[in-house]
Structure 1
Amino acid sequence: MDTLESLVIARRLRVPIDAPAAPTSGWGEVAARQLDAALLSVGFKCSAALLERLAGLPGETVVDLGVRVLAAVRHLVGDHIQHNVYFVEFPKNVPDNVEFWVGLLRQAMLDPVAAASVQPATLNLLALPGYGRYQHTYADLLAAHAELIPLAGDRVTVLELGASLEAEARELYFSLAGSEVPLSAEDLVALRSLAAFCAEEPERIPMRESRAVVNEVRLAAGRPLLVDTVTDVLRLACGCSGGDVTLATPTRFRSFSRSERRALLRALDAVASPAKLGDVSKHRERWKRLGERLHPGEHPQFPRAAHVFEVARGVRQARGLDSRVEAALSAGRTGEAVELLEKTPGALLRRLDHLLRSGTSASAVLEAAEKAAAGASGRVLLSLREHLQNRFTPAAGRVFANRHGRAWTTADTRSPIEENVVSRAVAILDEEITRRLPDPGTLIVAPEALDIALPLSGKAVAPGLGMLPRGSLSAVDGELLRFFVHWRQAERRTDYDLSALMLDASYGNPQHISWTSYHNAFAEYSGDLVDAADGASEFIDIRLAQAKRSIIIPQVNIYAGEAFDEAAEAFFGYMTRDAEQEGMPFEPRTVRMKSDLRGAGRVALPLVFLRGDDGAWRVKWLHLYLKGHPGFNQVEGNRVTASLLVRSIVERDHLRVRYLADLLRRKGSPGEHTTYIGLQAPADLPEGARVYTPGTLHELIPA
């Protein structure tokens, strides 16, 4: 229960309360105000409704609930651990690099034991005594820093009053399960917990991975499975084996009980039509391994299920749609390819650019696209709309990112498409998207929400505080920018390096801050840590008004040890402060964004800070990872790749809330109900208003 409660608080910023109000002696009100004060110290506060509700509860209940709420929000903001730094007075008195290394060498030479190991021919500076490990305690750090001066610009996130835990969990479950965009790995884990807790299910579960997670619960309960392709059964088998339902990584299948084998084979038999057997070849080896666990030969009552494994072994032939389409296109038979794709509207629209460049009649292709638009998902329509609006924009390169955020670029070698053809395609999409949008009634959109990118995929975005989809833009308030990384190794020594690549407006004239360059005229580095058995934190401080570059790209390099998703804990974030605020290196109320690091890459590029022509700074969200090297990654070594990737994302015109807001205004008219889109709902909204914030923005994507 505590896990679900923390999940609701972190994802919804709502506090579930089951206990009914009862007459109290007044201690509940005192405890509620004490909780509110404690929350304010980490940048949160209770809404008026929540405070009033808590005041009506017994004091003991408020105290118990307050402990859990405070723990949840401290973890959300990254304040659940004590952040120490290598240089105790950071950002003051950070030494010059040469001065620092000379000091370490001098210290080593004065130690007879250490001096004996210092050989000039094989000198390893990183192995010098005292390097890369804390030289003081957290208490020493506290003594070296004054308390934070609270200012009006500090972040204050309001926690709202929730309904019962059961009701809040159900609402979150329906939101995640009914999402029209793929969920992140963390959301799939949350969905699994919610599916096991909630008795009801949403009527529609559009995403295949989400459906597999829900099917795990249905299989355990002996209920019918929700499958309509053979791959749905494969995803379910992977999920039941503790593997990856996205099929991105191999799964070692467990042994299934006889009832489970029958249920899986029955579901497979129901969907394994000849037309769908073509999908088997995409995951041929996985099907072979699964067949070894399901023993289809022992169940002759499911003959079509047996055909799946015959295709996997090559005993039976089945050509998939993709291979037939590729064969037609390779032979120049575009009309045939279009006819094949008309059976799968989403696939046709995903190939629209290719079809329009294939040399056949653009009118015929657009006519097929217009028919397909009515049958494709809203996410496909929006993704194609974003693609087409960038078709004529010169870019540094085409950028691609997989489901893990691993990114790469390539030159754009596509042949052009006539502008009138693209304009007609865009008009078709706009008309269909508008048709699917609900009547918003009275629409209110907060100005700061207009530049949030639509969440067309959530896979690369780990949930956290202040997270926005890739391509989103938001203002940076404050004179001091400080970003941070914290990690704790699981089994072996792990060294992450926080760095910053700084470029001018033309993405040239590079400069960096890292363990090889501790400071410059406007930035300081907190010091390099090379071991995180008990956790390690690194910071970079930047005085924005004095910055000599217009583009600042923070990055986290894995120098040695465990990958981001192997470490016991790893997260990144940034804070902003005013010049007169000192305080500790980590102050939770100044944190604007914090999220876990994960992904298969060895270099993380979470976001980029950009200075506009007006001198104001904004942040654009990247959620990207570079492959990097197996070890010894440094900011100097990936400068060109990082610059090109960031430039490709920055120059891309992402589809934003502004676009949907314009369509909603065009469709709707002021009415009895209200729709609000913003970063956080205001307190004065009419009762029953439909609210979309970053945590529920995926609900805006039409079906």
Structure 2
Amino acid sequence: MDSLEGLVITRRLRVPVDAPAATTPGWGEVAARQLDAALLSVGFTCSAALLDRLGRLPGETVVDLGVRVLAAVRHLVGDHVRHNVYFIDFPRNVPDTLEFWAGLLRQAMLDPVAATPVPSPVLDLLTLPGYGRYRHTYADLLAAHAELVPLAGDRVTVLELGGGLEAEVRDLYHSLAGSEVPLPAEDLTALRSLAASCADEPERIPVRENRAVVNEVRLAAGRPLLVDTVTDVLRLACGCSGGDVTLAVPTRFRSFRRAERRTLLQALDAVASPARLGDVPRYREQWKRLGERLHPGEHPHLPRAAHVFEVARGVRRARGLDSRVEEALSAGRTGEAVDLLERSPGALLRRLDHLLRTGSPASAVLDAAERATAGASGRVLLSLREHLQNRLTPAAGRVFVNRHGRAWTAADARPPIEEDVVSRAVALLDEEITRRLPDPGTLIVDPEALDIALPLSGKAVAPGLGMLPRGSLSAVDGESLRFFVHWRQAGRRTDYDLSALMLDASYDDPEHVSWTNLGNGFAEYSGDLVDAPEGASEFIDVRLARATRPIVIPQVHIYTGEAFDEAAEAFFGYMTRDAEQEGMPFEPRTVRMKSDLRGSGRVALPFVLLRGDGGAWRVKWLHLYLKGAPRFNQVEGNRLTTSALVRSIVERDHLRVRYLAGLLRRKGPAGGHTTYIGLQAPAGLPAGTRVYTPGTLHELIPA
């Protein structure tokens, strides 16, 4: 599959079509219908425009394109691998937990080899014969299950007709490069491929990591670099060395060619003003290592570049804005701190809560904040708006999430802020955000999209099918919900465990389903697998109508072996089914969500399942990772941490599409165009409609 074509298909659900229509009638229409039938088997279909366009192509062209399209969407839903299960009849005939372990012990005692005495007094149940590895083939599984009974409620995702591949790649490149919010690692990798293929760039690249990726291409082509801080140069050097442009992980720098060293030092010399040198100490060690590769002493005509490395080595002193602000605040000089921060509007707004709690007149701080709003990014304004709307309500705890999704909680010991102060701050933010929003024209909003949280950061959200930002709410429409995880180890034995924690409305009275408890009255576990050289899958089936707990938290634990981002493959998702549906444990057309697992934690918390007062179930998206233990993580061991984290996210009032839609309506129509916001664009929208779906919602975040 062509990688750029695959990116367009999976990120935009559009099929690029370059080939000219056939001049004489052929069998293209037949091939197009066959492709549509094959797509339906995995929950996709061609739009009318795409089907018509394919029908007018040569049949051979349709077949070749269809193979690539089908491969892309199968990978998107996780159907590119064979999903076997430990218990062949799952979700039926899952044994009682004690009965299961007693059977394995009995089998071990009757096996003369297994019954050989061992010196250790401790029996490791996971080493019992027959445990943790498939006991039947995939063909046996096929024979044991009837075909899926298709229902009208099954997922059908429409693939739209795209333009030529070059135009589609350009649009995707401009969307990612010009994003106002940080991208996940997968999108940064995609951006690198797109940048190498596109001649032109968006006029504005606001996110520093994106700019570093674009600068890699510029450096290779000998074009001027897009840098305005010394840290921009460090990010570029990391990217060129195959390292982390976010600077979260130290990079082992490669040897640079003489021309590259000269270009990097010239760029550094151009931006290394005395005020900018204060940024160097934050990444002191990385600057030292880079200096060893760039040899700034060979370029005496670039003295300001040399100053950067002198600061890193401690030869030259440079104080950053943060240190001067902290010194003023610790001395009680809030006015001086505010004056300093006004030079950096974004920094002032990010510290607004703290400044309002220092005892200085709130009116003076708010006056400075009002002046700062015009110079701060739209993402900072929206983040502060979300923070303030939660400030007046006592929280169960403060939750902190880093760029990798690693999360932890702390008690909220902050003193309160007066309601009138919060109201004034909210009003001035709303005014500035409204001013920056585009003219909506005629605004159409899908009601199901109103509870999607605004994507203020995408770093912890791996792209996939049905993915929504942290804090989003989405309805669950089936009678049975089935979680699944699949992984394949890269080198050493790896055991991932799918589990589910069930809590009452007060986040207490826990019960769980996992390899230590195979089922309860409403959920069953498909069986534990402890080795995955060829891949392994685990499932948990939850019958929603029988659930005795209103909170269900699926989670994936690394028991032993490779981390999520070390494994050859690792992904999680869920399916929904009705009671009368038969079928295999994994059926692609019932998949509602699927995404890769990654991150530095040892426990993944993708979302929480919540039952409302009316009995309807909804998913709230978490995208969190817990640090966990180096080995042997189990659901029983992190219950308190999990419940505290989940409660903090669930009770937080996230800024959602509903908020932006209200501001857009307040702005009112002023043009003849149409703006549509929804989960997927419906047919029949007017030509030229601006469409925002979850995959492009970041484009609605104002600059």
Q: TM-score, normalised by structure 1?
A: 0.99
Partner of residue 636, structure 1: 636
Q: Deviations over 1:570-612 (max 9, x none)?
A: 0000000000002000000000000000000000000000000
Identical pairs, percent: 85
Shift of 1:81: 0.2
Partner of residue 469, structure 1: 469
2:303 aligned partner, one-letter code:
P
Partner of residue 578, structure 1: 578
Instruction: For residue 625 of structure 2, give the secondary structure of its aligned residue in structure 1.
Output: strand
Shift of 1:300: 1.0
1:653 aligns with 2:653: yes
Maintained 8 Å contact 2:439/2:670: no
Maintained 8 Å contact 2:488/2:567: yes
Instruction: For residue 528 of structure 2, give the secondary structure of its aligned residue in structure 1.
Output: coil
Instruction: For residue 61 of structure 1, give the secondary structure of its aligned residue in structure 2.
Output: helix
Partner of residue 216, structure 1: 216
Shift of 1:670: 6.4
Shift of 1:122: 2.5
Cα distance between partner residues in 1 of 2:341 and 2:117: 69
1:247 aligned partner, one-letter code:
L
Cα distance between partner residues in 2 of 1:696 and 1:446: 15
Maintained 8 Å contact 1:24/1:56: no
Maintained 8 Å contact 1:265/1:296: yes
Partner of residue 97, structure 2: 97
Cα distance between partner residues in 1 of 2:274 and 2:2: 48
Cα distance between partner residues in 1 of 2:371 and 2:183: 28
Partner of residue 249, structure 1: 249
1:563 aligns with 2:563: yes
Partner of residue 549, structure 2: 549
Cα distance between partner residues in 2 of 1:498 and 1:466: 20
Maintained 8 Å contact 2:486/2:571: yes
Partner of residue 74, structure 1: 74
Shift of 1:23: 2.6
The within-5 A match list for 1:186-585 is 186-585=186-585
Shift of 1:2: 0.3
1:702 aligns with 2:702: yes
Cα distance between partner residues in 2 of 1:435 and 1:518: 55
Q: Deviations over 1:421-451 (max 9, x none)?
A: 0000000000000000111000000000000
Cα distance between partner residues in 1 of 2:333 and 2:158: 59
Shift of 1:110: 2.1
Partner of residue 114, structure 1: 114
Instruction: For residue 621 of structure 2, give the secondary structure of its aligned residue in structure 1.
Output: strand
Partner of residue 176, structure 2: 176
Shift of 1:26: 3.2
Moved more, 106-115 or 597-606: 106-115
1:637 aligned partner, one-letter code:
G
Shift of 1:120: 7.9
Cα distance between partner residues in 2 of 1:27 and 1:510: 60
1:494 aligned partner, one-letter code:
T
Instruction: For residue 262 of structure 1, give the secondary structure of its aligned residue in structure 2.
Output: helix
Instruction: For residue 679 of structure 1, give the secondary structure of its aligned residue in structure 2.
Output: coil
CA pair 164-543 structure 1, distance change in 2 beyond 3 A: same
Partner of residue 130, structure 1: 130
Moved more, 120-129 or 51-60: 120-129
Moved more, 121-130 or 619-628: 121-130
Partner of residue 673, structure 1: 673
Maintained 8 Å contact 1:525/1:540: yes
Q: TM-score, normalised by structure 2?
A: 0.99
1:269 aligned partner, one-letter code:
D
Shift of 1:25: 3.3
Maintained 8 Å contact 1:24/1:57: no
Shift of 1:123: 1.3
Aligned-CA RMSD value:
0.8
In structure 1, list runs of 5 or more residues that go unmatched. Answer: none
1:3 aligned partner, one-letter code:
S
Shift of 1:121: 2.2
Cα distance between partner residues in 2 of 1:394 and 1:22: 66
Cα distance between partner residues in 1 of 2:354 and 2:670: 42
Instruction: For residue 694 of structure 1, give the secondary structure of its aligned residue in structure 2.
Output: coil
Maintained 8 Å contact 1:553/1:609: yes
Q: Deviations over 1:113-154 (max 9, x none)?
A: 111156782311100111100000000000000000000000
Maintained 8 Å contact 2:439/2:671: no
Cα distance between partner residues in 2 of 1:524 and 1:115: 31
1:522 aligned partner, one-letter code:
F
Maintained 8 Å contact 1:269/1:302: yes
Shift of 1:526: 0.1
Cα distance between partner residues in 1 of 2:604 and 2:24: 52
2:377 aligned partner, one-letter code:
S
Maintained 8 Å contact 1:479/1:545: yes
Cα distance between partner residues in 2 of 1:252 and 1:493: 28
Cα distance between partner residues in 2 of 1:547 and 1:407: 28
Aligned residues: 703
CA pair 678-116 structure 1, distance change in 2 beyond 3 A: same
Partner of residue 51, structure 1: 51
Maintained 8 Å contact 2:218/2:224: yes
Q: Deviations over 1:318-352 (max 9, x none)?
A: 00000000000000000000000000000000000
Instruction: For residue 347 of structure 1, give the secondary structure of its aligned residue in structure 2.
Output: helix
In structure 2, list runs of 5 or more residues that go unmatched. Answer: none
Shift of 1:108: 1.6
Partner of residue 37, structure 1: 37
2:602 aligned partner, one-letter code:
R
Partner of residue 146, structure 1: 146
Cα distance between partner residues in 2 of 1:307 and 1:488: 48
Moved over 3 A (4+): 117-120
